[in-house]
Structure 1
């Protein structure tokens, strides 16, 4: 009885959030929640944050059973990801059927509102494609579609997200096309999703792209204050998003799918780890992005259109891979302790507000593991321990132009020691390093925060090679 009352109350609250006020409801704005971190929000906390902030859609990277349970009867749309280490073990259709039954059918019957099943993630991304040659995307996509159909779930679309490097390096959107080395597979993929009415999902990382292309960094922002622009025939591009979006539109048109729906599966701005990655720039980027989306301007090649997108992301992930740069661990709008970093209005009403604070996190005691700075230590051995500490933790705040890039040698060693200590739940054994000592005096500098982590609430089982749970 209490569970039924709770479910009804959540549904009622969700309805109030989305019906009250002048909220734009044409396009939807979602958010990504990745949990590749030592400390993660518990699922019920995330549900509360989405409800309180009026965020109607969520992309999950690890569809763990306890996470899916939390979204029953919430009316929050979910996109879930079938990870590669699961897909590689799928030999026959029954395995896919069993998985879709366990993770989708059962929870759909419980009131979880699934929108997409993403089959893999960026399989044609150049670095990974050349390294791993993951060739099963289309086969697994068809198997997933067959499994969904067998359970009478036609409204849940199966597709695969792609990074913008599937496009050739172009200088004008009209030149847009897919890379030659993947074109044959991409055409098969497009035929597959076109037959089932699924969208093309693209990941756009403006901070990466402007530097890769050599553009003025201000071109990444919708309120571009520079004189940099790109003229392509009768069309003028003053920001990176419309430039990349229309490049993809051109590529799809050349492949014969000019009207295919496009969903922006990831877009955002990091707050640390690189030049121009800051909380101020992240706030600026998101404010102008949401203003643009709410106006329904579309792009020169697709004017006056709604654009559906998922922001990247809910929280930082201090264990995620950094193939493109250290800023990849700093996409979060929220810190690990549940505090929002900057102002953003998810309802797209352009209010000057910060998101609600996540309730339920438990901050660890005010203790830091630092280097004592004594000169009688063997510097080579200190460096070995420092390298070990950073290798086992997260020192991406030392990236070029990042918040801790300016630290002295002693401060950098202290930071590395402390990150290992904090990411190990303040395990005193992890402070058993050369010259290390535990202090209650905060070693942070005005620009560089030495964080205190939160208590680990759960162990993420998504794709673990140890538990074989996906």
Structure 2
């Protein structure tokens, strides 16, 4: 699930039982409008984020994290597991960034959900050999005692009708036993991604209230244990599966969990806030689960930090809308992370493109617009226009404007990108409607350069408008 560059953790102490837990947030970078790494790091620091996971080993992100004290997890993408050189990887992605004043790299994720059913076993045989080789390279670099290896797994790695009967999928039993033995011997946790939203999205019979943390009219009875939410049930299914291969006390980290805000029925701001706040409150209560009372997961990482408008929509349009912040680092809803702040703090000093938008020309016939819409939405993000999206209730002309503007901002407001054979025009009036936001892109250019470019572009647009107005007057 979580593709992108990074995942962050907000640390807090749970006093009861002296348990230490952390709330995490994935930071993905599959976006058309990327914030500068320094801006994102400032956002993390403002929200007291103390841990970060990169879904690769992005050097710009690592440089921005140097000297911050933020703990880092880097990753090796699945497609590299069969070919990467472990010695070279350690040298290029660990050693050169670590040390005094460097990045505090604590974990390397070997793949991401490599045992996912839909992969058909394509990566399955590469995981353990890659870990063994990487561990040897860590030993040679004198990093093995500090940097730990993990393998984020999808919850489909295990199965059961009730939590106490949880087992790993039969075809995974042998490799999971090898993997967990390796993790245990090196002091690493088992990392799993759990998504109650997907259970609800994929199964119309799934009780909606069971996906949240406010109690359920459809609890699951499992002997003496009663489960009132999907998270506890899923977690304990994993606990049972681990116990059946001899590791019932294995430390568990939730690598990804969250709720999208757009792109599907049930994906909205209210549901996302209720789910994420409920999860955080559940963890802060230190109740744990029926099979692990008083022992919440070691760490839990919310998915995700920022929206990712360039992600694949194959699983669903909601894939681009998991962020607790929008693509530009602005909080979408109120969320108390248990860190003393009652709400999220927005990113500061974000460098936006000029405040202008591309819209459908009000006086032009749009009967020939289809090919232009197809072009715009094939390259930019139009997922909010689909059923369940925040812009799905727009009229036809506004739909066209939204698509035009998405493409225009993607093209960094290039004047020609708003032409569409004369069907588009630039406006300085925000065309946003209700909850449907017509975005303005961001730039990584300096503020002074952006202002100079904006003035020059505005000059050209104004000249164009004057010429158009004079032409209209002459015709009249």
Measure how far apart 1:408 and its partner are: 2.6
Deviations for 1:320-358, whole angstroms, at most 9, x for unmatched residues? 122321111111111222211112223355x6x321221
How many pairs does the alignment contain? 429
Give 2:410's match in structure 1, choosing from 419, 423, 427.
423
Give, in whole Å, the separation in 2 of the partners of 1:395 and 1:81. Answer: 30
User: Which ranges of 4 or more aligned residues in structure 1 deviate by more than 6 Å?
Assistant: none
Deviations for 1:107-160, whole angstroms, at most 9, x for unmatched residues? 221442222100111111122336x45631111111221111211112211011
Answer yes or no: is the 8 Å Cα contact 1:287–1:344 preserved in 2: yes
Give 2:21's match in structure 1, choosing from 27, 33, 44.
27
1:466 is aligned to none
1:58 is aligned to 52
Give, in whole Å, the separation in 1 of the partners of 2:12 and 2:281. Answer: 18
Give, in whole Å, the separation in 1 of the partners of 2:57 and 2:349. Answer: 22
Deviations for 1:359-386, whole angstroms, at most 9, x for unmatched residues? 121122222222236674444xx22221
Give, in whole Å, the separation in 1 of the partners of 2:445 and 2:81. Answer: 28
1:105 is aligned to 95
SS of residue paired to 1:292: helix
Q: Structure 1 73/148 Cα, relative in aligned 2: closer, same or farther at 3 Å? A: same
Give 2:300's match in structure 1, choosing from 296, 300, 309.
309
SS of residue paired to 2:167: coil
Do residues 87 (structure 1) and 74 (structure 2) align?
no
SS of residue paired to 1:28: strand
Give, in whole Å, the separation in 1 of the partners of 2:434 and 2:306. Answer: 23
User: Normalising by structure 2, what TM-score?
Assistant: 0.84
Do residues 337 (structure 1) and 328 (structure 2) align?
yes
Measure how far apart 1:58 and its partner are: 1.3
Give, in whole Å, the separation in 2 of the partners of 1:322 and 1:25. Answer: 38
Give 2:346's match in structure 1, choosing from 333, 357, 360.
357
Long gaps (5+) in structure 1: 1-16, 459-470
> Which shifted more, 439-448 or 151-160?
439-448
Long gaps (5+) in structure 2: 1-10, 447-476
Give, in whole Å, the separation in 1 of the partners of 2:198 and 2:380. Answer: 23
Measure how far apart 1:437 and its partner are: 2.2
Measure how far apart 1:80 and its partner are: 0.9
Radius of gyration: which is bigger?
2
> Which shifted more, 368-377 or 215-224?
368-377
1:137 is aligned to 127
Answer yes or no: is the 8 Å Cα contact 1:337–1:362 preserved in 2: no
Do residues 244 (structure 1) and 234 (structure 2) align?
yes
Do residues 190 (structure 1) and 180 (structure 2) align?
yes
Give 2:400's match in structure 1, choosing from 405, 410, 413.
413
RMSD across aligned positions (CA): 2.5
